[in-house]
Each structure stands twice: as C-alpha cells, then as structure tokens.
Structure 1
Amino acid sequence: MATPSTPPLSPPRHSNLPTPPSPTVKNDRYFANHPTLSLINQCTSTKHLKQVHAQMLRTGLFFDSFSASKLITASALLPFSSLDYARQVFDQIPQPNLYTWNIIIRAYASSPDPTQSHLIFLQMLHQCEHFPDKFTFPFVLKAASGLKAFRVGRVFHGMVIKASLNSDVFILNSLVHFYGSSGDLDLAYGLFMKIPRKDVVSWNSMITAFVQGGYPEGALELFREMEKENVKPNDVTMVGVLSACTKKLDLEFGRWVCSYIERNEISVNLTLSNAMLDMYWKCGGIEDAKRLFDKMLEKDIFSWTTMLDGYAKLGEYHEARHVFDAMPCQDIAAWNALISAYEQNGKPKEALAIFRELQLRKDAKPDEVTLVCTLSASAQLGAMDLGRWVHVCIEKQGINLNCHLMTSLIDMYTKCGDVEKALGVFYSAERKDVFVWSAMIGGLAMHGRGRAAIDLFSKMLEAKVKPNSVTFTNVLCACSHTGLVNEGRTLFYQMEPVHGVVPEDKHYACMVDILGRSGLLEEAVELIEKMPMVPTASVWGALLGSCRLHGNIELAEQASSRLLELDPGNHGAYVLLSNIYAKIGKWDRVSGLRKVMRDSGLKKEPGCSSIEVNGIVHEFLAGDNCHPLSKEIYSKLDEIAARLKSIGYVPNKSHLLQLIEEDDMKDHALSLHGEKLAIAFGLISMAPSQQIRVVKNLRVCGDCHSVTKLISKLYGREILLRDRYRFHHFRGGHCSCMDYW
C-alpha cells in the first residue's frame, strides 16, 4: 500500500477512475462531488486527514489537482492542521495548480517561519505554468512584513506593477500594510491615496501603519476622515484607534471611542476588549479598567497580565499579587510582569523573592525577560551570588547570549564589584552592539578606571560601532570620576560635529561635574550660561555638588536656589547646602534649612547599606539594631573603635554635616552609619580571605571613607564599597578613588 512518504507517480492501473491524460487533471472539477472529498470536510484531526490521504492515494484521486488542493487546504489551514504534514502532502503533488501553490504560501506567511513562504514562491516561479495572481502577492507581502524584508517587498511591488495588478484593492491593501510595517509611512500613505475604492481593510491598514509608525495623530485624523466617507468601521479599526489613544495618553478621547463602539454596536471580541483595557490602564483610567475587566465574559492571558502589570506599576503590589494568584494560568509573561514591576520600581529584594518562588513552583520556564529582570535586580542589590547562578544557568541551558543578555550580565558584574568578570563576558562576545560597549564603558567608569574607559571607547570607534547618547554619558562620567578634564572637554565638544550625537542636558550635567570637581567652577558656570536648552535640575545639582567639594558658599546658594525652583521637593538640594554650611561651622544656617524641610514636610532619603553573605543580602540602616546578630555587630564596632583610637584616629566632626542624612543622630552617629554596621557584620561573618562588598544607596560620607581605609589596613581585608555614584576599592589603607570623589 502506498504511504504518504512514498506516493506513486501515477494512478494505479486497476483504478476505477478514468485514467487522466497527464499526471494531473489541471483546473478541472471532474471529481468535485466524489464521496472521498466530502470526508475531508468531516475530519477533526490530522490522523483523520492522513486516513483520507491514504484512501486518495489508493484510488488515484490524489493525482487530480482539484482533489489534491482540497486536501492541502485542510492540511494547512484547519485549526488542527500541521504545517509540516501539509508540506509533505504538497511535496507529493506532481503538478500543483496555482490555487495549491497559493495555499501553501499563505500557510507559511502566517507561520513562525515566513521565510519558507518566499522560498516556495521562488519554487513556484520556476515550476508552475501560471504566473502569480492577485491572491499570491498579498501572502508574500505579508511574509515580507513579518520578516521586515524591505528590499524583498519592493521586488514584489515591482512584480505587481509588471503584472498590471497594481490597481487591485487587495494587493494595494497589502502594500500599504507592508510599507507601513517597514516604517515608510510616506510611501504607505501615497499608495493608500491611490486606492480608487477604499474598503474598510484599506482604512484599517493605514490607521495601523500610522499607529505602529509612531504617528498616532495621523491615525486619529484618518479615523475622522473614514467617518466622513461613511465607511463603517469594524473591530480592527477600533483596535487601531484605541492604540492611537494609548500612545497619545488621551484618556478623554479613549473613553469617547469606547462609547462610540457601544453606540454603533461594533462587535466586541476579546482582542478589542483587551485593547480597551490596555488603553484605560496606560492612560490612567484605573477605575474604568477595573469595571471593564469585571464585565469581560472572556479573558485571556493578555487580559490578566494587563491588570497585573497595571496594579504593579501603580505600586499596588497587594492587588497585583491578588490578580496573579487568581489567574487560571500563570505563564512566564505573568511572572515576568510581577518580577519586572518590583525590579523597575526600586524593589529588587521583592523581585528576587518572586524569582525564587518561580524556581520552586516550576510552573513556567524562565525566558530572556525573566533573566534580564533578575540580573538587573541582582545588580541593584549587589547580589553577586545570585547573579553568578543566573549566568551559570544561561550557560548550562545553552541559552543564546544575545546582546540584551550580554548587556545585563556586564551590568550585573560591574555593579556587584567584579569588573574583571564583566570584562571576561565582554570580550567573549562574538557580536557587540552599542549597548554592550556602553555597558562596559559605564562599568569601568563606576570603578574609577577612567583611562581604561576612554581606551575602550576608542576601540569601539575602531570597531565601527556608532556611539549613542548613553555611550557619551558613560564615558563622560568616567572622566568625571578620575579628573580627566582635558579628555572630557575633547569628547564633549566632539559629540555633535564628529559623531552626530547632539548633547542633552545629562551630558551638560556630566561636563559641569567634570569642571566643577576639578575646581573650574567659573568655567562650569560659563558652560551652563551657554547651554542651548534651559538648565535642568541635574545640571544645577552637579554644580551644587562641586560647590560642596570646594566650599564655595555664594555659588552654592545660587545653584541651590535654581535647583529648588525647578524641583521644590528635591531634598538633596537642602542636604548638600546644609553640608556646605556645616563644613564651615555655620550651624545656625543648618538649623534654618532643617526647619524649612520640616515645615514643608520634606524628608531625606534614608541611608541604607547592604552586604551579601552566603547568598543572603543583609540590610542596615543607621543605628540599626534589628539584625539577629546586632549584639555581635556592635561588639565588633567597639573593637574597631578601640583599635582606631590606639593608632590616633579621631572622628572628623566636620562630617557631622551628614546628620541631616542620618536622622539627627548625636555625636556618636558617625560610628553608627549603615556602611560601618555592614562592614562589621562582614568581618564577623566572612572568612578572612573573602572580599567584603557593601552597597550604599547614598554617597558615602567622608568619615566612613576614612574609617574604611583604616579598617582595610588594620584587618588586612579587601573592602568594596559601592555608593550612589561609584565604587571604592579599599586595600592596605588606600582607596582606588585616590580621595577624588
């Protein structure tokens, strides 16, 4: 008996069917009413189809082109269809007719591998006696859209013109969609305007093109024109219009669109409901979103994830968790929404707790998004043990280390203190995009390796990788941290004329910091005065920080005033100015600023230091006594204080200027800063050979910096301290920053 894999090339000699004149009966419906073909419509599985296929082979019916096309249609397009099986069936047909070619091209155009659609099209050009028709081109154009194959699509467009099919509305609609998805809105709109009798698909294609091309205003204007032309919109139209409202964050018009849908009795399917839900959340219509979600009779994973993500981004984590627990199916997208919400909102501990839960429950397999979010949370906390574990998982599971993951790994290692490991990851990459280069340059900058950062920037240019805005922010920060003033100037003034990157406010802030830190305050002020845009809070903050370093009270007061005009709630401005006053002993002004802060309800960000020991991150606030080992920690602090005193160390009272940052502690406050508690805990919990790594959310104070240098010498320990701006590597009584910080 013939099988699907070994079909006969001609009908059996003893078939009851008349012998066709050739291997296929072309474009003939002679067997249209054959009882075997009626069985195709009754099939409910691929197994049933294969049984019909076998029967068609036995009878020779398979070699009739019309009959074969019926089988290929079912194999490729029915809900239970298998594209692999459909391809096997197609390859067995000796001379497929044009309809059959179109069916298999159409099936692949909507598949995960649309490239096959184009390959079969080329095969068709060589083997089919008929030229592609108006049904062929929409499918190959759809495949080109999915592949972002702009040049290939242009070739198809040329073929359409040569075949005189360029007035067909279906093909024109496909071309509008193709050019729109390729980002050429002008060409898409030009073709749209040439459509003589636009149907609803024409309007939908152009509306979608405008939305996807970042021109939501055009989409909404087109919708109004559509109304004037009396073309009745459908659910696809409204999805596009709602997406435009979402991009414009126009809640008022979005609500009007939802009422329009109801008034005009437009069919609301799940896709349209999800579009409304997404619009409400992203435009701030929280109560609208809740009401709609409760009314939805059908919900899919997108519906649930939208609600989950919405609550999480609002900081309503209890509600987000409630939605997560209520989900009928918690796929990896839902886990990612919860993990990323915590990670992106400054709650890395909670993000990692959710990741550990995912690992324990094994409901879903982590994907690239999960790993990127987990690496980012690890970087924020300085949790290198977990970050290393994720890296090992990536390698063991053979996950493709693309540029996105590569960037995350480099960021994690540099922020956790292992810049050499980050460099190892960087140099192992076969392909490096601008973000990978920028991440490594930024990592070197954080560790005070300014020369190395500039050298890497030069290598990036040699590799013909065009720097972007982030690259220059990172390389300018490297100059700032190491006092490379001339190099910073050169890079800054080369940005636009040499590299085509227009300096933004953040680049001006970096340059002001470079000049200010080195004492060139007048030049910094001149740069601010020449800025082509209004100086932002970050620019004035950079100048204020420089004034703190050099004790320039008059300029500090001006910078603080301008900063608070732009950002009245910026507690950092009060803190920096208070520090300047305290440094020169003007305590009456310190008290005055503290009163202003109290009266206005401003609270400074509390200082918090963390340390990872045996994979567990421990956090310490100033004067913290909540840790289970508090007694041992404070005993160690007493020991440290005694040893420091024995070598003549006296706390620098000028550093009491940090009182504002540490909740009004008394004279002994300096010994109770969080970083000192964390270091003491490290000394009693870690082996002498282990590096002590501490992460602080604020700038480390001068006294803690001095004490940590002495501890590194007295106890023979290597200590890494990461504050808000950079790393400090302490060893043998010295710091890598060379006291330039």
Structure 2
Amino acid sequence: MAAPASLVLGPPLSGPTIPSSSDNLLFELLDSYPDTASLRCAHARMLRLGILSHPHPAGRLVAACCLRPSCRDPAYALRIFRHHVPCPDLYTWNVLIRAHASSGLPHLALLLFSQLLRDSPYRPDKFTFPFAVKAASDASASGEGRALHGMVVKSPFHSDVYVLNSLVHFYGAIGHLEIAQQLFDRIPERDIVSWNTMITAAARVGCCDEALGMFKEMEECEGVTPNDVTVLAALSACGKKGDLEMGRWVRSYVDRGGIRQGLILWNAMLDMYVKCGSLEDAKKLFDWMPQKDTISWTTMLVGLAKAGDFEAAGHLFDEMPSERDIACWNALISAYEQGGRPKESLELFRQALAAEVRPDQVTLVAALSACAQLGAMDMGRWIHTYMNKNGVGLNFHLATSLIDMYSKCGDLEKALEVFHSAGEKDVFVWSAMIAGLGMYGEGKAAIDLFLQMQEARVRPNGVTFINVLASCSHAGLVEEGKRYFEEMLPVYGVEPGIEHYGVMADILARAGRFEEATGLIARMPMTPHASIWGALLGACAIHGNTRLGEEAGDRLLELEPGNDGAYVLLSNLYAKSGRWESVGRLRKEMKDRGVRKEPGCSSMEVDGVVHEFLVGDISHPHRDKVYAKLEEMLWRSKELGYVADVSQVLQDVEGEGARERMLWLHSEKLAMAFGLISTSGPSPIRISKNLRVCEDCHAAAKFVSEAYDREILLRDRYRFHRFSGGRCSCGDFW
C-alpha cells in the first residue's frame, strides 16, 4: 500500500533533498508511519541526508523496524544496522537483541550480544541482560545462560528485579528449579512478574504443590495480588496434579478477586477440569463459555475421548462450527488409538486425508501405532511411503513408531532397515529396536544391540531395561537376564521398578526356577503388583505347578477381582490335571462376580482391509470357503502327525471328537484358513491375536506351515511366532 499524502517525506531521491530543519518532522513520521513503504521511504531520505551515521537517528530507524507491529521486520533492521550504522549506541544494540529474541531467532540474538561485548564501547545494562537471557531460555542454551548469570553477578545490576526475573525464568525453563528458587529468594522487592515467573516455572516442571503454595503465599504473606497470568499457572498446576478441589478453589478465586477473564483463561479452566477427570464441570463450563475457539473444542473433544465416551466425542467433532484444524483431528485419532480402538483411529486418519488435511507428526505417530495394534502392514507401509514422498523428516518419534509398527506387523527386516537409516538415534529408538528383536526371540541379537547402544554413548533408561529383560525372557536367557537386572542400579544408575521385577520373575519362573522367582518376589522393596503374580501364574500354567499357581492366582484376584486372564490361567491348570470341579467352581465365581472372559480375536490384513475372526466365527462373508479350508487343514495336518491337545479345552465335554472340534474353531486357525484362501506364497500369512496363542494352535501352525509350504507369522499378546517348515522361531519356549 502506498503511503498517504500526509506521510510522504519528500520528492524522490533524484529530486532536491529536504532541509535539515525538517529532521524533527522525519522522526515524528518514523514514530507514526502506517506501513513498510513509508518506513523504507524514510530510510531512503535518511540515507540522502547522511544522518544514519549519527547514533540517535540510526537508533530511531532501527527501533521503528523492530518494534512497530504494522511493519515489524528484524531482518531489514539488521541489514540497516550492518551496512549503514557505523557507530550504534547501546539503545540500538538493545533494540536489535530484543527484536531477535522475540522473533523466534534466539541464537541470532545471542550472537548480537556477543558482538556487542566484542565490538562496542558500551557494556550491557539492565535492559540488555533480560533480552539476552530470554534468548538463552528460548534457545535452551544452558551454557550461554549460565555465562550471562556470571556476568550479571559481576555487574551493577546483580540486584535489579527485572534482571533477576529473567534469570529465574531461564533456570525454570531449563528445569533447574532449585537455582530459580535461590534467585527468587534473593530478589529484594519481588513484583507480580517475579511471582508469576516462579510459579510458572514450578508448574512447568511438575512441582505442583510448590506452585500452588506460592499462589496462596504471594497475597497472604507479601500482599502481591495475583493476576490472570498467575491464575493460568495455578490452573496448569492443578491439572497436572489432578487436584480438582484446588482447581475449583482457583476458579472461585477468579470470580471473587475480579481477575480479568477471557478466552485464554476459560480454556485453561476447561483444560484443568478435563485433566482432573471432571467431565461434568468441563461440560458446564464449555456450554456456558460465551466465546470458543479451536482450542476450546479440541480440549473438550480430548476429555470426552479419554473418558471413553467416543459417541459423544464423535458428535462434538461433527458439531464443530469452524473448519477443523489438524489439532482437532489429532485429538480424536489419538484418543481412539490410545483407547484400544485402532480400526476407528485409522478410519478417521483416512477421513482426514480425504478432507485434504495435512497430517503432522502427531497424526502419523498415532496412525502408525494403530497399524501396529492391528497388524495393518499395508497401511503402515503406505504411511511410510507418504512420509518419504512428502519430505517428512525421520525424527526420533517417527523412527520409533516405524520400528514399532514394522516389528509388530511381522517385518523385522524392514524394522532393522528403518533403524539403520535413522541418523542420530535417541534412547527410545534404540529401545524400540531392542524390543523388536526380543519379540521375535532374537535375544542374543537384542543384547548385542544393547551393547552397541552403549558404544554409541546413549544412556539406557528404564524402558530399555524392560525390553532387554523381556528379550532374555522370550529367548530363555536366564543368566544374562539376571546379570543385567543386577547391574541396573550399580552400573547404569537405573533403579529397578515394579515392571523390571515382574519381567525378572517371569524369566526365572518360565525357566522353571520357581524357588528363585518366589525368593525374588519376597525380597522386592515394594509391594508386589498384579503383574508380578500374573507372571508367576502364567509360568505355573506352562509347567503345571498347580500348588504355586493357586497361590499366585489367589494373590492376583485379591488385587484385581475382575481379571479374566487369572481365571483363564487357573482354569488351564485345573483342566490339565483333570480337576473339572475346580474349573466349574471358577466359572461360577466368574459369573457371580460379573467377570467375562475377553474373547480371543485374530486378525489379518489383505489388500488393505483388516479381517477379524472370533472363536467359531460364522460372520465372515467367505465363511463357507474358510470352513472348507479348515477341514482340509485338519486332515493334512493329521497326515503329518498332528494330534489335538484336548487339555486346552476348558470345558468338560464328552468325546475326543467334540473336544477336537472345539479346538479347531479357535480364531487363530480360522485366520490361517482365510490366509490360505486369500493370499499366495511366497508372501507370509501375517496374523495378530489379542491373547496368548494356545498350545494346540501353536502346534497346529507348525503342521500347517509344513503342509502348505507357507510361512506363518503369528503375533500374540506377548511375542512373535515365525512358523516355517514345521518349526517355530520360539523353539517352543514362549
């Protein structure tokens, strides 16, 4: 837009110059110009007059470029500074550092600060330090921030409230709350900014009790009245802590204290209610809010979805008045995926693509996780291809998700390819690949990778050790598992948690070393969790240790009366020993308690469509072909020596034939039959099951792989089984 006539500073550069008496008019116009065109016109006139060599007019021009919202252009200001201002004053340096620190260019702001120290006769003042410290905070430049702190200590501004506030913010931003608190305590006269900075820092690092304590203290002890910024920090602390009572008190304080209210504060209240699990309060506030934006709708959407009310979440999603941005789609896609509804998650992902919404990292991670849950290899591959075609960089999160997806979908080689193609790898990328190898029974390879991780100087964490120990468990590497468990704290500085004890107990019990397993449980520094007793019970079911299994089952059901898996494992124990009266007692107990066994479900993907089978399923459109192939599988397996393991039938059914028939209606076998009629070699048949594969289905899969010369990849709840030529990769140890 051209400058208005009243703001034109004179004729073009080819014309006569304006007289020096108009300098004040020039500066007045700089302070009131409406757009970039007028600013550049003023710049040209100042060049013509030769006054940019003087610090004052140069500073005024640079400040106009940096501070005026209507034509803010720090890059243009920096060009003026470097090419036309030979002797900048401290005001000009400060303006430039401030502009770049506030424009998402903190590293450039720090570079300008260094140039000030090196090239200027001026020393930083009480304005320079806060701008530079802010840049260090935004850049997460710990070393530079500490150096600035050292300079402040030696400067005349070591007690200045504004400088100290900036340092409190810096240490809070990099997670050093203790140093922030020490600086906060040294501020001679703390203002509202001091308190807000400290409370926000405490809330950010999860020290919620401290943040809320300061919120109350500031007014009661020092007479500083909280404002809307303070309330935002307090609400964040309540949400993180899940303290609904305190959150309600903060909201009542807002009403009592006359705090300025608006959309930002209402959204913070809404977020607090959702995180505290009070959907009732959240709905009331949401319905009352006179103004809503995308954040409001998305927050409410997340709350409904996380509460499992997917129907209400879907209705809210459909009712959104404005165009849905990617955050809204992500909220629902992630909620379905995390809520154990991966099919719905992928359907929403497809809808987002159809609506021409560009997925971001959050979308892709959620979609890949849904593919991993379903074993949806085709969709997972498509997402990977989409990433490559659209230049989506392979950051830590996406690399981890791709490795997890390929591992769980049955392509370990592709998972390794992604792992090796990732440049820099963080602890989660390494841990995911270790888990993938362990899932396939490649325990020694998993340990080798763990050693390579240490050579790469990546420090293992608790997740890494869970995966290393699980790899040892799947491969029967008892001594290796014991060694790494014992080395966790003294060698690696990782304290074993309840999950590590659970996996270690599983390693020992699976190997039949029950005395060591029970000894470990007795020595645990924490009360055994349900997972501990579940691991012990599972191993007892494998080895037929009824006495210890009953004890573990009783302990497990005391902690989790509704655990259907415990009833199933106990039933397995009793059925194997022919104690049908005990099986009947357990069934009655389940009925009386309202416990329902999770139905076994096996799924496989064909041409991008996921097909699911339940036990005895007759709902599939190709059921006649499936059951015909099932009969063929049975007699061909019998020809090779298959004998049904009728001890797996948990009902006292008369007749071996009836029991055998019940076994051949298991979902895994139906999925195998469908795989044989819908795919052809050499591609493997990939099946995912939600529960542990039963011993009879495991045996049958070996015979089917030999009879049809097909590789079968079966992923159950715990690991992968690769059947080929009548053998399984697990070595019958699972």
Does 2:66 match 1:76? yes
Does 2:717 match 1:724? yes
1:37 is aligned to 28
Distance 1:70 1:302, change over 3 A: farther
Shift of 1:50: 3.0
> Please, what TM-score do these two structures have when normalized by structure 1?
0.92
Distance 1:211 1:106, change over 3 A: same
CA deviation vs aligned residue, 1:276-305 (integer Å, no higher than 9, x gap): 111111112212222222333333332222
Shift of 1:694: 0.2
CA deviation vs aligned residue, 1:248-290 (integer Å, no higher than 9, x gap): 2111111111111111111113322221111111112212222
Gaps of 5+ in 2: 1-12
CA deviation vs aligned residue, 1:692-733 (integer Å, no higher than 9, x gap): 000000011111111111111111111100001111111111
Shift of 1:162: 2.6
Shift of 1:670: 1.2
Contact 2:640 2:707 (8 Å CA) reproduced: no
Distance 1:123 1:327, change over 3 A: farther
Does 2:354 match 1:360? yes
**Amino acid in structure 1 at the alignment position of 2:59:** S
2:76 is aligned to 85
Cα distance in 2 between the residues matched to 1:397 and 1:36: 49
Cα distance in 2 between the residues matched to 1:718 and 1:200: 68
**Amino acid in structure 1 at the alignment position of 2:353:** Q
Q: Counterparts of 1:462-477 in structure 2 under 5 Å? A: 462-477=455-470
Does 2:170 match 1:170? no
1:203 is aligned to 195
Cα distance in 2 between the residues matched to 1:57 and 1:647: 95
Cα distance in 1 between the residues matched to 2:275 and 2:564: 29
Q: Counterparts of 1:334-353 in structure 2 under 5 Å? A: 334-353=328-347
Shift of 1:544: 0.6
Contact 2:646 2:659 (8 Å CA) reproduced: no
1:18 aligned residue (17, 20, 25): 20
Cα distance in 1 between the residues matched to 2:427 and 2:115: 39
2:104 is aligned to 112
Does 2:99 match 1:100? no
1:303 is aligned to 296
Does 2:581 match 1:588? yes
Shift of 1:440: 0.9
2:40 is aligned to 50
CA deviation vs aligned residue, 1:158-181 (integer Å, no higher than 9, x gap): 222333111211111111111221
**Amino acid in structure 1 at the alignment position of 2:66:** A
Does 2:441 match 1:448? yes
**Amino acid in structure 1 at the alignment position of 2:17:** S
**Amino acid in structure 1 at the alignment position of 2:533:** W
CA deviation vs aligned residue, 1:395-416 (integer Å, no higher than 9, x gap): 2233221222111111111111
Cα distance in 2 between the residues matched to 1:472 and 1:35: 69
2:6 is aligned to none
Cα distance in 2 between the residues matched to 1:83 and 1:312: 43
Cα distance in 2 between the residues matched to 1:61 and 1:614: 73
2:229 is aligned to 236
Cα distance in 2 between the residues matched to 1:522 and 1:408: 39
Cα distance in 1 between the residues matched to 2:481 and 2:160: 59
Contact 1:15 1:59 (8 Å CA) reproduced: yes
**Amino acid in structure 2 at the alignment position of 1:517:** R
Q: May I ask how many residue pairs the two structures share in their alignment?
A: 714
2:385 aligned residue (385, 392, 417): 392
Does 2:135 match 1:133? no
Cα distance in 2 between the residues matched to 1:402 and 1:647: 49
Q: Counterparts of 1:150-549 in structure 2 under 5 Å? A: 150-228=142-220, 229-325=222-318, 326-363=320-357, 365-549=358-542
1:4 is aligned to none
Contact 1:166 1:172 (8 Å CA) reproduced: yes
Helix, strand or coil at the partner of 1:554:
helix
Cα distance in 1 between the residues matched to 2:146 and 2:247: 36
Cα distance in 1 between the residues matched to 2:541 and 2:683: 35
Cα distance in 1 between the residues matched to 2:284 and 2:515: 58
**Amino acid in structure 2 at the alignment position of 1:224:** K
**Which moves more between the two structures, 444-453 or 328-337?**
328-337
Does 2:546 match 1:553? yes
Cα distance in 2 between the residues matched to 1:717 and 1:658: 32
CA deviation vs aligned residue, 1:366-394 (integer Å, no higher than 9, x gap): 22222111111111111111111222222
1:25 is aligned to none
Indicate the percent of aligned positions where both proteins have the same amino acid: 56
Helix, strand or coil at the partner of 2:69:
coil
Distance 1:322 1:128, change over 3 A: farther
**Which moves more between the two structures, 210-219 or 233-242?**
210-219
Helix, strand or coil at the partner of 1:721:
strand
Shift of 1:12: 10
**Amino acid in structure 1 at the alignment position of 2:364:** L
Shift of 1:60: 4.9
Distance 1:110 1:36, change over 3 A: closer
Shift of 1:647: 4.4
Cα distance in 1 between the residues matched to 2:179 and 2:434: 40
Cα distance in 2 between the residues matched to 1:645 and 1:255: 68
Shift of 1:667: 5.7
Distance 1:399 1:252, change over 3 A: same
Gaps of 5+ in 1: 1-10, 20-29
Distance 1:631 1:51, change over 3 A: farther
Contact 2:640 2:703 (8 Å CA) reproduced: no
> Please, what TM-score do these two structures have when normalized by structure 2?
0.93
Q: CA RMSD in A?
A: 2.2
Distance 1:270 1:79, change over 3 A: farther
**Amino acid in structure 2 at the alignment position of 1:17:** P
**Amino acid in structure 2 at the alignment position of 1:173:** N
Contact 1:278 1:306 (8 Å CA) reproduced: yes
Q: Counterparts of 1:624-639 in structure 2 under 5 Å? A: 624-639=617-632
Shift of 1:658: 8.0
**Amino acid in structure 2 at the alignment position of 1:453:** A
Shift of 1:15: 3.4
Q: Counterparts of 1:693-712 in structure 2 under 5 Å? A: 693-712=686-705
**Which moves more between the two structures, 520-529 or 294-303?**
294-303
Contact 1:611 1:693 (8 Å CA) reproduced: yes
Shift of 1:59: 4.8
CA deviation vs aligned residue, 1:488-539 (integer Å, no higher than 9, x gap): 1222212222222211121111111111111111221111111111111111
**Amino acid in structure 2 at the alignment position of 1:466:** R
**Amino acid in structure 2 at the alignment position of 1:73:** A
**Which moves more between the two structures, 463-472 or 565-574?**
463-472
1:7 is aligned to none
Cα distance in 1 between the residues matched to 2:152 and 2:478: 60
**Amino acid in structure 2 at the alignment position of 1:114:** P
Distance 1:36 1:109, change over 3 A: closer
Cα distance in 2 between the residues matched to 1:645 and 1:670: 14
**Amino acid in structure 2 at the alignment position of 1:292:** L
Contact 1:40 1:49 (8 Å CA) reproduced: no
Helix, strand or coil at the partner of 1:488:
helix
Distance 1:566 1:232, change over 3 A: same
Cα distance in 2 between the residues matched to 1:16 and 1:474: 77
Contact 1:40 1:71 (8 Å CA) reproduced: no
Distance 1:441 1:680, change over 3 A: same
